[in-house]
Amino acid sequence: MPQSPSKSKTPNASGQKAVVIGAGIIGVNVALALQDKGYDVTILDRGEPGMGASFGNAGGIAVTECAPIAMPGTLMNVPGWLMDPLGPLSVRWGYLPKMLPWLLRFLAASSKSRVEQIATELAALLNRAWDDYDPVIAKAGLADAVFKKEGAMAVYRSDASRRKDDYASDLRRRNGIKIRDLTRAEVRDLEPDLAPIFSCGVMEEDWGRVLDPYKIVMGLYKCFLDQGGKFETAEVTDFVYRDGKPRAAMTTSGDQITFDTVVVACGAWSKTLAKRLGSPVPLDTERGYNTTVPYHDAKLSRMVICADDSFVMTPMEMGIRVGGAVELGGLTAAPNYDRAKALFAKGKEVLPKLNGDGGTEWMGFRPSMPDSKPVISKSPNHQNVFFAFGHGHLGLTMGATTGRLISDLMSGEETPINMTPYRINRF
Ligand SMILES: Cc1cc2nc3c(=O)[nH]c(=O)nc-3n(C[C@H](O)[C@H](O)[C@H](O)COP(=O)(O)OP(=O)(O)OC[C@H]3O[C@@H](n4cnc5c(N)ncnc54)[C@H](O)[C@@H]3O)c2cc1C
């Protein structure tokens, strides 16, 4: 049963009106955490809650993923990836000029010294993920019904391909993340339906998965409403200032929704509003694809990460989800579902009993910063403005932690970690 708002209300928060823009996994977690501090919270979204990137992601609570997307040597791999139009990375060439500043920062983030630092800063968030999620999911009554904590298994076709990940494994271990090497036989024993093509694997001990990412958002959203939270359908385009401070959100229908404090949590669409609030930010999107097929014969008991081909397979409530990939193409181009089909074909190679009948394809916009770190930040310009976006491949994983940290920042309490690495003006 949902509990009433927390015992630890912040005295000066009581009754203050906080508006959270965006009802994805980040927005609902932030809203719940602010309620706990005693804020009177309204979520605004231009559509239904949970229908953005948070709807159809791979469902991994990927607490071991502290290695950033830009790694030493990434640049060398790019030409090979791009040769395959349906490979793990593709670019909509018309969008490339717009994305160039992001790409240059992405490459700058791939130097060894930056990677070492970024991994430690990501691990500081990831190592808290379960501690922050556990009370939230218990309060929302979700617990074991939708969260599974049984680890994930990465698989490799050859020992040579495993060795390519040695540096990433080392980074993880040095940042306190538990991983365990698996032999060919152990891989077979753990997932007997996989094709016998893997020479070894890695058990990522503390991973979890959710049975349906959309249900998580909706479960948290329901808890928020049960605790007196409000929701309005509204597309925010700008802000109204009074005495130099943003005081209301302006919407496409001409309404002005007033607030004492505001949080921008619009995922991949946060850039425009951040700029309006005086904080230009190099946010872009890495589009990702997947196919979800109902259960037929193929069985998996945990998430499987196919490291050589950069895709994952997740057993979910409604079936097996196969997906991944990165497409750089901005927010407006139509999806190219051939990418979902190509990933599914690779899935069938790996899990031969997979059956595509009744499958559904999906594309989502990961909100990505060039250095793979989210923005969890107070505005440098306005005391009453906060930002929570840019979680890239890890928004589901970092949802509760982001909520907790934003609520600490807003209420002026000491945060459990140093927030400097995630500030909006770090570029
Ligand atoms: C294929 C794929 C697989 C993934 N797998 C995983 C995984 O296994 N584990 C993991 O941790 N993460 C994963 N992710 C990443 C994760 O899905 C995202 O990081 C996360 O969903 C981002 O959440 P969000 O709340 O920031 O954004 P969203 O869920 O996109 O929500 C943003 C919301 O803001 C609203 N909005 C936008 N602009 C406005 C506006 N102007 N006014 C009002 N409302 C607005 C939108 O309507 C939307 O509801 C994956 C992503 C993809 C695409």
Check if 364 has its Cβ closer than 6 Å to any atom of ligand 1. yes
Domain 68-112+150-206+283-368, CATH among 3.40.50.9100, 3.90.1300.10, 3.30.9.10, 3.30.1340.10: 3.30.9.10
Check if 127 has its Cβ closer than 6 Å to any atom of ligand 1. no
Q: In the CATH scheme, what architecture does the domain 14-54+215-282+372-422 have?
A: 3-Layer(bba) Sandwich (3.50)
pLDDT tens by residue, 251-286: 999 999 999 999 999 999 999 999 999 999 999 999
pLDDT, position 7: 42
pLDDT tens by residue, 336-353: 999 999 999 999 999 999
Span from the CA of 266 to the centroid of ligand 1 (angstroms): 8
Written as one letter, the residue type at 19 is V
pLDDT, position 11: 58
pLDDT tens by residue, 135-156: 999 999 997 668 899 999 999 9
pLDDT, position 4: 36
C-alpha to C-alpha distance for 200 and 188, rounded to whole angstroms: 9
Task: Please name the residue whose Cα sits nearest to atom 22 of ligand 1.
Answer: 395
Supply φ then ψ for residue 415, to 5 degrees.
-85, 150
| CA 260 from centroid of its chain's CA atoms | 28
| CA 280 from centroid of its chain's CA atoms | 21
Span from the CA of 423 to the centroid of ligand 1 (angstroms): 19
- Burial class for 355, CB neighbours closer than 10 Å (0-12, 13-18, 19+): middle
Cα distances (Å, whole numbers) of residue 34 to 10, 53, 342:
10, 22, 42
Q: Specify the ligand 1 atom closest to the Cα of 51.
A: 49
Mean pLDDT score across all residues of the chain: 94
Instruction: Judge whether residue 5 has pLDDT over 50.
Output: no
Mean per-residue pLDDT, 244-255: 96
Q: What are the boundaries of each domain within the chain? A: 14-54+215-282+372-422, 68-112+150-206+283-368
Task: Please name the residue whose Cα sits nearest to atom 1 of ligand 1.
Answer: 288
pLDDT tens by residue, 113-138: 999 999 999 999 999 999 999 999 99
Sign of the Cα pseudo-torsion (273, 275, 277, 283, in order) = positive
Instruction: Judge whether residue 199 has pLDDT over 50.
Output: yes
Span from the CA of 408 to the centroid of ligand 1 (angstroms): 22
pLDDT tens by residue, 296-351: 999 999 999 999 999 999 999 999 999 998 999 999 999 999 999 999 999 999 99
Say yes or no: do domains 14-54+215-282+372-422 and 68-112+150-206+283-368 share a fold.
Answer: no
Going by the DSSP 8-state scheme, the letter that residue 333 receives in this structure is S
Check if 403 has its Cβ closer than 6 Å to any atom of ligand 1. no
The two three-digit tokens of residue 43, written as one number: 């979520």
